[in-house]
Amino acid sequence: MEHLRKGKPKVSIIACVVEMKGINSVFRTLDSFLPQEGTVDFEFLVVDEVPGYREKIYRERFPWVKLIPVERLMPEPYLRNIALRHVQGEIIVFSEDHVIFTHSYLKNLVEAFSKGHKIVGGAVANADPELFTGWVQYFLEYNKWIPRLQEGIVDDLPGCNYAYHISAIQRLGPFPENNIKLDSIFNKKARENGFKLYYCHTIKIAHINETHILTTIVERFKFGRLFAARRGFPLWKRIAYSILSPIIAVVEYCRIFRNARYDHTYLLKFLQCTPLLLPILFIWMMGECIGYMIGYKNNGGSGLG
């Protein structure tokens, strides 16, 4: 990782365009970013496949964006590693192409890092609370980072809203290049190397959620299978987790409830989502069972884990 260097701008924000999320959502993300409070020096890097009309949009509407063109869209870990070859900031933000930023984002982010933290993540709200089906994905992915939760040291950070000091990236190396991004495993590697993950609720974004339930089901099944395959458990532990997977699904439902209860609006939506949420949790665990038992086949057809 010698190509990563410390220097101005202070913050580098990375967003990668992923086709399955809708290639035009990135423009909504960029529209939300400016103006930012304070005087934090930043660069905003977008990795995208840019046919002529999209390149024109970037050039005319977002001239402050550092566009990194690629020949084709790839899974997000590959694109993030491409972006890391171009960053110049001291603080590297990993976000997504379907989020809404608050205007105090940079100011609050730099303030958190000024306290000595090397890895910081923030709160995730629902960008489209009027869309019922979007709440299902929200609770499945982001219930641990509901805006009102207490800040402090945590075990994991949201994949759409966290930042590493460049020294941590240099030490840990690039993202593992898989078909599904596994930020939890990357953050686990950071913890195993002695880093602490700090959650700060003032570093807030809103996530634009998937509203098609079938897509959410497929994503959860694939994520569960790949996550299990990558955990590297011994055989006895894989068997135990597979047998206990129905109980784990119920435990996860209770964990979501525990987090949702901090906000009455979120709690109401959680209860309304239960008829969809519980079955998808069981499907998620089914994916993990398969991952523990037979691994995960990538595009090349080889088994993982």
- Residue 163 CB-density burial (10 A; 0-12 exposed, 13-18 middle, 19+ buried): buried
DSSP designation for 118: S
CB atoms within 10 A of CB 200: 19
Query: Alpha-carbon distance 13 to 94, whole Å?
Result: 6
Rounded distance between C-alpha atoms, residue 297 and residue 78, angstroms: 17
What ranges do the domains of the chain cover? 11-207, 213-304
Of residues 226, 222, 284, 223, the one with CA closest to residue 256: 284
Give the span between the Cα atoms of 199 and 151, in whole angstroms: 5
Query: What do you get for the CA distance between the two ends of the chain, in Å?
Result: 26
Beta partners for 152?
199
Question: What stretches of the chain show up as alpha helix (H) in DSSP?
Answer: 25-33, 52-61, 76-84, 105-113, 132-142, 166-172, 183-192, 213-230, 235-243, 245-260, 264-294
CB 273 within 8 A of CB 211: no
What does the pLDDT profile of the chain (305 residues) look like in tens digits? 444 444 489 999 999 998 655 668 899 999 999 999 999 999 999 999 888 788 899 999 999 999 999 988 888 889 999 999 999 999 999 999 999 999 999 999 999 999 999 999 999 999 999 999 999 999 999 999 998 778 899 999 999 999 999 999 999 988 888 766 678 889 999 999 999 999 999 999 999 998 899 999 999 999 899 888 888 889 999 999 999 999 999 999 999 999 999 889 999 999 999 999 999 999 999 999 999 988 876 543 333 32
Cβ atoms of 140 and 40 within 8 Å: the answer is no
The pair of structure tokens assigned to 75 is 């899974």
Pick the CATH number of 11-207 from 3.30.1540.20, 1.20.1740.10, 3.90.550.10, 3.40.50.2300: 3.90.550.10
pTM, rounded to two decimals: 0.87
C-alpha 225/C-alpha 219 separation (Å) is 10
Query: Which DSSP category does 117 fall into?
Result: -
| Residues 82 and 47: beta-carbon distance below 8 Å | yes
User: In whole angstroms, what is the distance from residue 239 CA to residue 265 CA?
Assistant: 39
Cβ atoms of residues 263 and 146 within 8 Å: yes
